[in-house]
Amino acid sequence: MRAREFITEQSKLPPEITDPMSHTYVLPGLSASDPYGIYRFGVAMARARSDTGQDAAEVNKHMPAWQAKTAFGEHGVIAGVDPNTDPIIDKALAMTQTPGGKHLVTTSTSEEPKSVDTVSPIKPFRGYER
């Protein structure tokens, strides 16, 4: 038996496969090779289900607006530890001919946010100088 006798590609599923399957959809805009897109679609499905449920009116009062894209999710992210990361990224982008370049989304220094308390509420004691 040759492979072409039992391996076939179909553009339409036969009734013996489709008849037992209920509510099965193909989403042409969602690529099976895009795991992040599939993940985001799953999150959207969970949100959509919540939005259409009985508690939708109550939930929507406190629910932030849905964002189709997130700050990092659709793109590669590199967190460097020093300025030497920049030229390495540039060289790798050139070597792989990756379009789009790089965009710094944080500061080039590591700083405490303004909301962080930098003074300890504990009073200093002998043997522990501040």
State the 10-residue block means of pLDDT for the chain, 130 residues long: 72 82 83 85 82 62 72 76 88 89 82 82 74
Do the domain assignments include residue 50?
Answer: yes
Cα→Cα distances 87→31, 74, 79, 80, 93, Å: 33, 23, 14, 11, 10
Q: Say how many domains are in the chain.
A: 1
Range of the domain at 53: 10-96
Write down the pLDDT at residue 55. 58
Tokens of 75: 């793109």
**Distance, CA of 82 to CA of 103 (rounded, Å):** 16
**Distance, CA of 15 to CA of 69 (rounded, Å):** 38
Write down the pLDDT at residue 90. 92
Do the domain assignments include residue 14?
Answer: yes
